């Protein structure tokens, strides 16, 4: 297990690429949008420069890390990887299209992983002719810091595929938990309704964003309040996750708050857009 491919260079894909390269893997990095790929490489380079300036990494190690990340001009270039991890937007159609391409180009023994945080692995795997090789490998945000990774086998996923995914996660220095393949898995099944309820509190005027977050931080000793966490996740991602859970369970408790949907419609996506439940100046 030497080469890992990452498909999709959003915040998670970029961070997982950095994390994998830091652990010594060769990383094949692909995005259909060349400007996103270029931007991702720039973010990784900037992080390495910051680490070097802070004394966390020396120049030689930083250069070696950067060389292990290889940008790919076409999807076909990921075919040599033993693990190919999809990190595109949380939408079933987009993910199934990526997996159809994985099925076409990837080697027969490759593990095809999805970083989905809510969508059924079984449903994603049905886009391929090898559902036994498809598995969820859900990293937390930010991936280079957070220790937990959820491993989610689909209905046809073999134990061999599960063990390869676990070995990969261990080599990254992460801790895994295995979850059943139900919408939201373990973490988001608990976390997303809590965040959504905090948004309802704000929507109903029960408290300010600051007071709602302060209650959770001081009352439960959480490092971050739910609204600040929503901004970090990205409100567009949050809407996609909760709507997928609503679709999967047909339960009103997963109905997204109207304020959340309005913010996304307005382009208030959280930290990445400079405005969400809070305003960000950098």
Is 281 inside a domain boundary?
Answer: no
Residue 160 and residue 57 share a domain: yes
**Residue 231 burial by Cβ neighbours in a 10 Å radius (0-12, 13-18, 19+):** buried
Last residue of a domain, one of 127, 157, 178: 178
Which structural domain range is residue 213 located in? 187-273
- Cα–Cα distances (Å) from 271 to 37, 159, 222, 227, 237, in that order, read 20, 39, 19, 11, 12
Residue 83 and residue 125 share a domain: yes
Q: Which of 100, 142, 146, 138 is nearest to 120 (CA)?
A: 138
Please confirm, yes or no, whether 90 is among the known catalytic residues: no
Last residue of a domain, one of 150, 178, 206: 178
CATH number at residue 28: 3.40.50.720
Given the residues 114, 150, 179, 244, select the one marked as catalytic. Answer: 150
Last residue of a domain, one of 126, 151, 178: 178
Cα–Cα distance, 11 to 17 (Å, whole number): 10
CATH number at residue 233: 1.10.1040.10
Cα–Cα distance, 37 to 221 (Å, whole number): 38
* β pairing state of 134-139 and 148-153: antiparallel
The stretches of the chain forming alpha helices (DSSP H) are 11-22, 34-53, 59-67, 92-105, 121-125, 159-171, 187-203, 209-220, 226-233, 235-249, 258-265
Residue 193 and residue 165 share a domain: no
pLDDT reported for residue 281: 84
Is 157 inside a domain boundary?
Answer: yes
Q: Which residues pair with 6 in a beta bridge?
A: 29, 85
Is 279 inside a domain boundary?
Answer: no
Q: Which of 58, 64, 52 is nearest to 21 (CA)?
A: 64
Residue 145 and residue 198 share a domain: no
Residue 64 and residue 117 share a domain: yes
Residue 107 and residue 209 share a domain: no
**What's the structural domain count of the chain?**
2
Residue 201 and residue 156 share a domain: no
Residue 173 and residue 233 share a domain: no
Given the residues 22, 115, 117, 133, select the one marked as catalytic. Answer: 117
Please confirm, yes or no, whether 117 is among the known catalytic residues: yes
Residue 159 and residue 20 share a domain: yes
Is 81 inside a domain boundary?
Answer: yes
Please confirm, yes or no, whether 132 is among the known catalytic residues: no
pLDDT reported for residue 16: 98
Please confirm, yes or no, whether 46 is among the known catalytic residues: no
Given the residues 114, 120, 133, 188, select the one marked as catalytic. Answer: 188
Cα–Cα distance, 270 to 276 (Å, whole number): 4
Given the residues 138, 176, 179, 196, select the one marked as catalytic. Answer: 138
Report pLDDT digits (tens) over 160-204.
999 999 999 999 999 999 999 999 999 999 999 999 999 999 999
Residue 148 and residue 205 share a domain: no
Asked whether the beta carbons of 17 and 11 are under 8 A apart, the reply is no
pLDDT reported for residue 282: 67
User: pLDDT 10s per residue in the chain (282 long)?
Assistant: 689 999 999 999 999 999 999 999 999 999 999 999 999 999 999 999 999 999 999 999 999 999 999 999 999 999 999 999 999 999 999 999 999 999 999 999 999 999 999 999 999 999 999 999 999 999 998 999 999 999 999 999 999 999 999 999 999 999 999 999 999 999 999 999 999 999 999 999 999 999 999 999 999 999 999 999 999 999 999 999 999 999 999 999 899 999 999 999 999 999 999 999 999 986
pTM: 0.92
Residue 149 and residue 21 share a domain: yes
Residue 248 and residue 218 share a domain: yes
Is 54 inside a domain boundary?
Answer: yes
Is 280 inside a domain boundary?
Answer: no
């Amino acid at each position: 297990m030497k080469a890992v491919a990452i498909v999709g260079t959003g915040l998670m894909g970029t961070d997982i690429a950095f994390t994998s390269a830091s652990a010594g893997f060769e990383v094949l990095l692909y995005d259909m949008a060349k400007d996103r790929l270029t931007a991702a490489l720039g973010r990784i380079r900037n992080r390495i420069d910051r680490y070097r300036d802070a004394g966390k990494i020396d120049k030689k190690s930083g250069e070696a890390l950067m060389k292990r990340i290889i940008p790919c001009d076409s999807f076909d270039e990921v075919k040599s990887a033993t693990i190919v991890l999809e990190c595109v937007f949380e939408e079933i159609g987009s993910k199934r299209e990526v997996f159809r391409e994985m099925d076409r180009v990837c080697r027969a023994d490759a593990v095809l992983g999805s970083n989905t945080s809510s969508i059924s692995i079984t449903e994603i795997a049905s886009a391929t002719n090898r559902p036994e090789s498809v598995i969820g490998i859900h990293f937390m945000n930010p991936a280079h810091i957070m220790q937990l990774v959820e491993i989610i086998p689909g209905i046809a996923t073999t134990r061999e595929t599960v063990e390869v995914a676990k070995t990969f996660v261990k080599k990254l220095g992460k801790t895994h938990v295995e979850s059943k393949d139900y919408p939201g898995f373990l973490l988001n099944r608990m976390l997303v309704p809590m965040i959504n309820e905090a948004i309802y509190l704000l929507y109903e005027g029960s408290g300010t964003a600051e007071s709602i977050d302060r209650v959770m931080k001081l009352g439960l000793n959480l490092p971050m309040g739910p609204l600040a966490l929503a901004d970090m996740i990205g409100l567009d991602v949050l809407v996609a996750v909760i709507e997928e859970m609503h679709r999967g369970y047909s339960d009103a408790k997963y109905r997204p708050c109207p304020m959340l949907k309005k913010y996304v419609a307005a382009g208030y996506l959280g930290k990445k857009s400079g405005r969400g439940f809070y305003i960000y100046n950098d």
